[in-house]
Amino acid sequence: MGMSARFAAQPDVRSRGALYCAKAKAALKDDLEHVCIENIQACILVGNNCMGDCDADAESLYFVLANRMAQILNIAVSNDTDDGVTREIKRRIFWTCFIVDTWASGGSNLSRQFGWQAKQPRLPMDEFMFAVMKPGDADVPDAEWKPGLWGYMVKLVEIYSQIQQLHKQLAETIEWDEILIDESVRQLEAQLDAFEENIGPGLRFSLENLAGFVSRGLGSVFIAFHLGYHHYYTLLFYQYLDQRRPSTKNGKKYADSCKAHAATICNVLKASREVKGAEALYNIVGHVTIVSSSVLLHTYLFGEPHELEDSRHRLESNLESLVQLRSYWPSVELMINRLVVFQKNCISSLGRNTHRFDKWMVKFLIAHALALEEKMDDLFADSDVGQIPGNAHLERGRITESMIMDIQQNSDTLGGALC
């Protein structure tokens, strides 16, 4: 109830959301030493509520509790007495813990607790196949099993964990080996490309495919799948937006690909707002939107003239999603503040190399639960960026600043119009 109240249309119900959350926490704490599936699920729900209400420390604690309970129960192993529904529930809880741990640990810059394991359960099955199962049914045999959207998301998150690790290594390395970096990126790109090839055309993003999933009640899951998929591509290639980096064989291609996937995220978000049954209203969508918006903002500030109109319209579209999300999740305001800091660092000086992959940039891209301080280093001349006439750059900066200030100063009006 604490989670769902924030989405209620009735103001009196929404106003009781905090009370419901407090009661949920109290009930869970009273039963916390009871290690069971229900309490794992409760910890994940309470943790998500804490994240949305700007309490990242409590979020981490509840997620760690869920992970540890899952390990104590050895939830990856099915009991002989479990029916098919119970076995699949256990698998989905196991993989939920894996996904939550990957995102939350990176978001708070903490060590992971639930990494990839040599022995692990089968991936979540096709959602429709699971939906028609009844209590007492036998498990689906391996020969008849096929993965669903959640199963594919697990595979993507495993690749995402490798991208996280690459970013951290770059942030901690003083002198970069460009050849080694390019090879690491190429290998991760190959994994993502192979993944896309394996899923086939029916799961690629299009309004036609979205309509098919909406008709089966899976529109929001399809949207979530594509937000993650294109977010991981954007992160992988993000460093190549840095115009001061040494020229490499694939640098231009990767920078263009980063922009293309950030633009696709904009398309997915727009569809989620406009297509009934495809809503994407969970908290972490805010961070995905911020990263996509930072690419669009960078393109508008430092891009070529032919890129300006499209990047500006897409940035405006993304800001609509942030306003919508902020009406449900207070933490989105903090995410918007991160974009403000990013923008200030972009326009403060033509000589500012904003996109160098130092610890500040890793924190911006991955550590979404932490406050972002202004960047004080890397004040080096940048001949490429300097090619933009000063007045033109300042005008672009004023436009983007006005756009972002507008959603900061008019949250009640805009939020009400969109919700």
pLDDT in tens, 183-225: 999 999 999 999 999 998 999 999 999 999 999 999 999 999 9
In contact, 355 and 239? CB cutoff 8 Å: yes
Ramachandran class of 109: left when φ > 0, alpha when ψ lies in -120 to 50, beta otherwise: left
Q: Token pair for residue 195?
A: 């993944």
* CA-to-CA dists, residue 5 to 49, 141, 195, 226, 368, angstroms: 11, 39, 37, 27, 24
- Mean pLDDT to the nearest integer, 169-178: 83
Tens-place pLDDT, residues 326-367 = 999 999 999 999 998 888 887 765 555 455 667 788 888 988
Q: Token pair for residue 33?
A: 């030493």
Tell me the sheet residues that pair with 305.
none
The helix (H) or strand (E) run that includes residue 301 is helix 285-302
Which of 379, 350, 373 has its CA nearest to residue 361? 373
Query: How high is the mean pLDDT of the chain?
Result: 87
User: How far apart (Å, rounded) are the C-alpha atoms in residues 229 and 146?
Assistant: 20
Q: Which residues contact 160 (CB under 8 A, 6 or more apart)?
A: 102, 228, 232, 235
- Mean pLDDT to the nearest integer, 270-290: 96
In contact, 84 and 141? CB cutoff 8 Å: no
* CA-to-CA dists, residue 3 to 20, 48, 373, 383, angstroms: 8, 8, 30, 50
In contact, 240 and 254? CB cutoff 8 Å: yes
What residue type is 236 in one-letter code?
L
User: How far apart (Å, rounded) are the C-alpha atoms in residues 194 and 254?
Assistant: 17
Residue 153 has pLDDT above 50, yes or no: yes
Q: For position 357, what pLDDT does the model report?
A: 64
pTM: 0.90
DSSP per residue, 69-112: HHHHTTTTS--TT--HHHHHHHHHHHHHHHHHHHHHHHHTT---
Q: For position 5, what pLDDT does the model report?
A: 87
φ, ψ dihedrals at 272, nearest 5°: -65, -30
Lookup result for tokens 């490798």: 162
Q: Point out the least confidently predicted range of 97-111, 227-241, 405-419.
A: 405-419
Q: For position 274, what pLDDT does the model report?
A: 97
In contact, 295 and 283? CB cutoff 8 Å: no
Q: For position 407, what pLDDT does the model report?
A: 76
Q: What is the DSSP letter of 385?
A: G
Q: Token pair for residue 231?
A: 């977010």
Of 63-77, 231-245, 348-362, the range with the highest mean pLDDT is 63-77
User: Can you give the length of the chain in residues?
Assistant: 419
Q: For position 415, what pLDDT does the model report?
A: 40
Q: Token pair for residue 81?
A: 């007495």
Q: What is the DSSP letter of 300?
A: H
DSSP per residue, 10-21: SHHHHHTHHHHH
pLDDT band of 78, cuts 50, 70, 90: confident
Is residue 36 classed as helix, strand or coil in its secondary structure?
A: coil
- Mean pLDDT to the nearest integer, 250-254: 90
Residue 417 has pLDDT above 60, yes or no: no
Residue 17 has pLDDT above 80, yes or no: yes
Which of 242, 240, 208, 233 has its CA nearest to residue 222? 208
